[in-house]
Copies of this chain bind each other. A is one copy, B any other.
């Protein structure tokens, strides 16, 4: 089969490799229907040290089950499934508490012998804890619904996780920093949770226009000090109850604590590209700011969201604005990095 590997910064290659096979009784082998490129793939694509052994890429996918191990009971060959970006048993103590990304027996794609989703086939350990049937038949599912289902493997539920951890609800003013696919997903998720006002900070007019469709009530196209002042002006000087930081770079975090209201919450879902940051008296402490967030435990939210996606009440798949074939996946990375594409579907 063909699969995508990263060999160093900017060096994405599609290679012919042996088909994955069932290795344990809890495994499934999936045939990928569609995968996509994530903002976190781009972080790696920027920074990855040159290597002789390529790193398998991709962690978001819709798929059809091809084979299952002897112990797998929840899916069978032919089932059309969503695969969350993290692998989990969904039974350990952390899974039961709703933090499946910290599963005691969990895996992430591309590590520990696991392949990537930007491929024709992929082996999934812990298939019973991980895979969720879409409840639809692939052949009957149109393009728009396929894209929306695909967002349930990561991007939309990452946006939802940000809003959930930030305790967005009726009456809340939310500011979302970042008009990438996660930021726009956070806008949609905040609307769903009843936010009263949603301020979207982003500088790409086509993206913020989709953000307005998703529920943003205000758009702020400036950043840094100017952006902080603009949000303060929009909120009567008080700032935003919740700030969702969907970028992952330090300046976005600094913007977040400039914008957040006394007693408010900064919720981060952009994977931080920094380790240390201001958290003392001047940034968080004096104003009793809460900092939260992390990798989204997609699995815990998936079944709750599926009916609204299937009915069309939620259309998070609109974040996809380009499709590439697996052979052209490098072009997908390039286009996303150049901000020519918001989020790219990969068709094996």
Interface residues in chain A, defined as those with a beta carbon under 8 Å from any beta carbon in chain B: 93-94, 97-99, 101-102, 165, 238, 262-263, 268, 271-272, 274-295, 297
Please give me the residue from chain B that is nearest to A161 by CB atom.
Answer: B288
Please give me the residue from chain B that is nearest to A270 by CB atom.
Answer: B285
Contact A277 B279 (CB under 8 A): yes
Q: Given the known A-B contacts A276-B279, A278-B275, are A102 and B294 also in contact in the complex, defined by CB atoms under 8 Å? A: no
Contacts of A278 in B (CB 8 A): 275-276
Contact B281 A272 (CB under 8 A): yes
Q: Which of B94, B263, B287 contacts A262 (CB 8 A)?
A: B94
Contact B263 A94 (CB under 8 A): yes
**How many angstroms from the CA of A277 to the CA of B282 in the assembled complex?**
13
Contacts of A276 in B (CB 8 A): 276-280
12 new A-B contacts, CB < 8 A, other than A99-B288, A275-B279, A276-B276, are A94-B263, A99-B262, A101-B288, A102-B263, A272-B280, A272-B285, A274-B280, A275-B280, A277-B277, A279-B291, A288-B294, A291-B292
Give the distance to chain B from A173, nearest Cβ to Cβ, in Å: 12
Contacts of A294 in B (CB 8 A): 284-289
Give the distance to chain B from A90, nearest Cβ to Cβ, in Å: 15
Contact A291 B284 (CB under 8 A): yes
User: Which of A93, A101, A102, A279 gathers the greatest number of chain B CB atoms within 10 Å?
Assistant: A279
Please give me the residue from chain B that is nearest to A266 by CB atom.
Answer: B291
**How many angstroms from the CA of A278 to the CA of B279 in the assembled complex?**
9
**How many angstroms from the CA of A263 to the CA of B282 in the assembled complex?**
26
**How many angstroms from the CA of A284 to the CA of B276 in the assembled complex?**
11
Contact B283 A97 (CB under 8 A): no
**How many angstroms from the CA of A293 to the CA of B99 in the assembled complex?**
23
**How many angstroms from the CA of A94 to the CA of B241 in the assembled complex?**
11
In the A-B complex, list the 3 residue pairs whose CB atoms are closest, starting with the nearest. A288-B294, A275-B280, A102-B262
**How many angstroms from the CA of A283 to the CA of B276 in the assembled complex?**
9
Contact B279 A97 (CB under 8 A): no
Contact B290 A292 (CB under 8 A): yes
Contact B281 A279 (CB under 8 A): no
Contact B295 A263 (CB under 8 A): no
Some 24 contacts from A to B, beta carbons below 8 A apart, are A99-B263, A99-B288, A102-B288, A165-B290, A272-B281, A272-B285, A275-B278, A275-B279, A276-B276, A276-B278, A276-B279, A276-B280, A279-B279, A279-B291, A284-B291, A284-B294, A285-B294, A287-B294, A288-B292, A288-B297, A289-B292, A289-B294, A290-B292, A291-B292
